[in-house]
Amino acid sequence: MAAEITLRQLRAFVAVLESGSFSEAAAAMHLSQAALSGLIKELEGRRT
Output the pTM of the full model.
0.84
Contacts of 8 (CB under 8 A, 6+ apart): 39
Beta-strand (E) ranges in the chain?
none
> For the chain, what is the radius of gyration of the CA atoms?
11
How far is the C-alpha of 1 from the C-alpha of 47, rounded, in Å? 8
For 6, 16, 41, 46, the CA distances from 21, given in Å and listed in that order, are 21, 6, 15, 22
- Give me the pLDDT at residue 22, please: 97
pLDDT > 70? residue 7: yes
pLDDT > 90? residue 8: yes
| pLDDT tens, residue by residue, 14-44 | 999 999 999 999 999 999 999 999 999 999 9
